[in-house]
A and B are shown apart, each in its own frame.
Chain A
Amino acid sequence: MNEEKIVIKGIAEGLLITLRDCPWKEAKNLVISRIDEKGTFFKGARIALDVGDVSLKAAELGKLRDELSEQGITIWAVISKSEITIKTAQVLGLSTELGVPKNYEKQKQSSTFFEGESAVWVEKTLRAGYKVETRCHVVVMGDVNPGAEIISAGNIIVWGRLSGSVHAGADGNKKARVLTLEMDPTGLQIAQIAAAPRLKKRKKQPEIASIFENEIIIESWDIHKNHRGDL
């Protein structure tokens, strides 16, 4: 019977927990016990909670949020038909809709709809001592000065002068690349391979660094060329 009251399924933004015909106290305990059962499976998960027409006060919802966050789980949205619950969620800074178009599934199936990958956008010059470390790609609109550092699991684009230290494909992705308008890095690494220091200072021109035959090569950016390294 419990199985009907609580349904957990994966959606694009994380997990959706749907609760039906169930007083809050019971529902809350169900959610917690379900999560306990699965152990670390939920750790780091982002949860959207669909509570149907149950009315929730801020204290009730807040308590669940705090208890879950202790286990490393974030509630980011609460969906409800009750206006009180919707208000409560807004007060707590939670989303009240899934924010995905209803025809999302259909769009995803069409081959011309491209979701893309996440990147960290930095619109400033990274000065000495600044550090960007992320699993996403990194795009800097500005310079990267000596003493600044970027570590990314993906690609790095510096729309400016790159004089600091960068590490692309930091979790071992040898296909990662570094693009910049002016390549003069203090340190340049892709996956586990570090670039040899450049002896000659090159012209100020857009360049791309990639791995070719287990070495980092830097070549000038040519719009007509396929800069793909080992690919």
Chain B
Amino acid sequence: MSATVVTITSGKGGVGKTTTTANLAVALAAAGDKVCCIDGDIGLRNLDVVLGLENRIVYDLVDIIEGRCRLRQAMIRDKRLEELYLIPAAQTRDKSAVSPSDMVKLCDELRSEVDWILIDSPAGIERGFRNTIAPADTILVVTNPEVSAVRDADRIIGLVEAEEKGPAKLIINRVNQALIKRGDMLSADDVVELLAIKLIGVIPDDDNVIISTNRGQPVAFETKSKAGQAFTNIAMRLKGQEVPFLDMDVKDDLFSRLFHTN
């Protein structure tokens, strides 16, 4: 096996990097691939919480890099999906505990063991960002349809270009079709027009995402949820399949609400 390293980044905080990482990992593992996620947000770890693996952490990323444990020992195996692993971030350290070359080395060691390495990048453009970009084969930029998030995404895409890691691919998260129809939100087309990179997924705004995130049960486990379906579609596109984009029409939402009692 030789894994593809995918880094999920955004620039702005709170747009859904961690949620996206967790859900793509679940979707890829559910499709039968072997996946290892790495939480790159050292000092502010939370990918473990979103994946529901918080109480199983013994060793973390910094322990591997500083030689206190072997790579295997820090990989937490998910109990729901056999092929899903997590390397958590250290909580008591900061970004300077890891260097970009440490990350490249670690990923090179991990490449032979899995199909996918998904790295959750911290917000910002400093050390933590550079650490997570360094080993990446593919970079996914997550943004919301908000002017401020799009501006930061543009900056990140520029930095990725400058590091010669581009072109990045775009995920637009929390798209609210009702607001777009009222003309109160940028549409996916508006965002793509400005950022001018390839769109790989559009995630509808879905309350289930918040609920599932709090429960540590990513929404991609549920096939009924629209957001879960959208994440699964991105996973399939990463695997090289052609999947049409979801129809996000509001009417469809109402319709499903009327006829799905649950």
Contact = CB atoms under 8 A, between A and B. Distances in A.
Interface string B147-180: 0000110110111010000000000000000000
Contacts of A129: 155, 158-159
Given A127-B158, A129-B159, A146 B151 contact: yes
A146 B190 CA distance: 14
B196 A125 contact: yes
B161 A127 contact: yes
Size range of the chain B interface in the assembly: 10 to 19
B151 A147 contact: yes
B1 interface: no
Interface in B174-199: 194, 196
Interface residues of A, number: 11
A147 B158 CA distance: 11
A145 interface: yes
Contacts of B158: 127-130
B155 A128 contact: yes
Contacts of A147: 151, 154-155
Contacts of B157: 127
Contacts of A146: 151, 154
Interface in A126-143: 127-130, 143
Contacts of B151: 128, 146-147
Contacts of A128: 151-152, 154-155, 158
A143 B196 contact: yes
A65 to B, nearest CB: 31
Nearest to B125: A129
A130 B154 CA distance: 10
B144 to A, nearest CB: 16
Contacts of B155: 127-129, 147
Nearest to A163: B194
Nearest to B11: A128
A125 B194 CA distance: 10
Count chain B CB atoms within 10 A of each CB in A127, A145, A146, A163 and give the residue with the most. Answer: A127
Contacts of B161: 124, 127
Contacts of A125: 196
Contacts of B159: 129
A129 B161 CA distance: 12
Given A127-B157, A129-B159, A143-B196, 20 more contacts: A124-B161, A125-B196, A127-B154, A127-B155, A127-B158, A127-B161, A128-B151, A128-B152, A128-B154, A128-B155, A128-B158, A129-B158, A130-B158, A145-B154, A145-B194, A146-B151, A146-B154, A147-B151, A147-B154, A147-B155
Interface of A: 124-125, 127-130, 143, 145-147, 163
List the 9 closest pairs (A to B, CB-CB), nearest first: A127-B158, A128-B155, A128-B154, A129-B155, A127-B154, A145-B154, A128-B151, A129-B158, A147-B151
23 contacts: A124-B161, A125-B196, A127-B154, A127-B155, A127-B157, A127-B158, A127-B161, A128-B151, A128-B152, A128-B155, A128-B158, A129-B155, A129-B158, A129-B159, A130-B158, A143-B196, A145-B154, A145-B194, A146-B151, A146-B154, A147-B151, A147-B155, A163-B194
